[in-house]
Amino acid sequence: MAETKMVHSPTLTYFSMLSLLTLCPPFVILLWYTMVHADGSVLQTWDYLRQQGLQGFLEMWPKPTAVAWKIIACYGVFEAALQLWLPGRRVEGPISPSGNRPVYKANGLAAYAVTLITYLSLWWFGIFNPIIVYDHLGEIFSALIFGSFIFCILLYIKGHVAPSSTDCGSSGNVIIDFYWGMELYPRIGKNFDIKVFTNCRFGMMSWSVLALTYCIKQYEANGRVADSMLVNTALMLVYVTKFFWWEAGYWNTMDIAHDRAGFYICWGCLVWVPSIYTSPGMYLVNHPVDLGTQLALYILLAGILCIYINYDCDRQRQEFRRTNGKGLVWGKAPSKIVATYTTTSGETKSSLLLTSGWWGLSRHFHYVPEILAAFFWTVPALFNHVLPYFYVVFLTILLFDRAKRDDDRCRSKYGKYWKLYCEKVPYRIVPGVY
């Protein structure tokens, strides 16, 4: 059976699911339109909609064109090929709720390097100009919105008729199954992992490709790249590089180990990541703010520090588990809780919970530097418009909700051991505050 996701009341859960299913697609288009055609001004878009009404909104929505489909298809096929064929070491994922252990090929960093080198070379040698991507961005997002929706319907059908493993099941409700997904790690054949493709190789990879695209667009339009854009692009690239450096670690996180392949994760990574996560850079293309070298450097360093701390939190937890609690944490033997739990197949297993280091400050301290890093790659846009900050606000809400979902899941998994952890580490995210 599918793990129940109703952390909030059923009414609130249905309301938020239906709202996200219906509101996210038009929001992607509104955000793109505002950034690219309305000077980044929410008021300008609002005025347009007030004057033109629904008809105006429909006219604003770009139709997916052949060029858009071709760009998406070339990119998707290229990434799928790299995922399948680049060499990489064999990595075992964490034990799933049904007691399975998925196996992956860790070739993310190589795929990342090949992708960026290929993209920059295509531009440098005049074979393909990335500004074509920027100039068709609306059509690409539109095609992604519809294409990914169909993709999620196919995932839903696959979950019913051809699940890849026993980590699959229905909640008995079509909307919940479509929204949260049916399978934990659906595959095509034995080796092609669909969530690795949607989350890492399509979604996260598109973040770096689009960050470069925005930079190149500004360069080609103005003959130079403003320092604000350089800081934004550099920080986003450091973040995505960190992600691929640590990709095998990502396979132990909630997205992969707990959230099933449905609209929430897959549509989110295929559409929301390329459009919303990259939006501060999309704004900067037409707003080349000059920060001055000193301010630009301070922002860059602050952002890199936050990305490093976020990385170190994830690394600390994973090293702690990998060494079975034997490695040092901040130079000392770690303090820990040995927690037992029962899998859905009735087996008793045990896990270690770290209660010192970053994980002793609060139960989800790693979200603090994650949010601050996003702030630092947005702040080069300064404060003329509010929309570039949408991603930071969205991320804060997402991570606060995620911390609650994770706490609830861990409480039901570990019972009294989680209670003990909460007594030892009472704050959920911000030490001393929340």
Would you tell me which residues interact with ligand NDP (CB under 6 A)? 94, 253-255, 310, 314, 317, 351, 353-354, 359, 366-367, 370, 395, 398, 402, 406, 410, 413
Give the residue with the Cβ less far from ligand NDP, 182 or 353: 353
Nearest distance from C-beta of residue 164 to ligand NDP, angstroms: 21
DSSP assignment letter at 387: G
Contacts of 113 (CB under 8 A, 6+ apart): none
Give the residue with the Cβ less far from ligand NDP, 218 or 310: 310
- What Cα–Cα distance (Å) separates residue 10 from each residue in 17, 260, 383? 10, 19, 39
Nearest distance from C-beta of residue 405 to ligand NDP, angstroms: 9
Judging by DSSP bridges, how do beta strands 103-106 and 89-92 pair with one another? antiparallel
Nearest distance from C-beta of residue 81 to ligand NDP, angstroms: 26
Nearest distance from C-beta of residue 191 to ligand NDP, angstroms: 24
Give the DSSP H or E segment for 176: helix 174-180
Give the residue with the Cβ less far from ligand NDP, 263 or 367: 367
Nearest distance from C-beta of residue 74 to ligand NDP, angstroms: 26
Nearest distance from C-beta of residue 317 to ligand NDP, angstroms: 5
Give the residue with the Cβ less far from ligand NDP, 129 or 318: 318
Distance, in Å, from the CA atom of 63 to the CA atom of 27, rounded to the nearest integer, reads 15
Q: CB of 148 within 8 A of CB of 67?
A: no
Beta-bridged to residue 332, according to DSSP, are 329
Give the residue with the Cβ less far from ligand NDP, 285 or 353: 353
Distance, in Å, from the CA atom of 103 to the CA atom of 340, rounded to the nearest integer, reads 24
Give the residue with the Cβ less far from ligand NDP, 64 or 93: 93
Beta-bridged to residue 105, according to DSSP, are 90
User: Around 423, how many Cα atoms within 13 Å sit in the side-chain half-sphere?
Assistant: 8
Nearest distance from C-beta of residue 401 to ligand NDP, angstroms: 10
3-class SS at 333?
coil
Give the residue with the Cβ less far from ligand NDP, 197 or 264: 264
Q: What share of the chain is helix, strand, coil (3-state, %, to 5)?
A: 65, 5, 25
Q: CB of 202 within 8 A of CB of 76?
A: yes
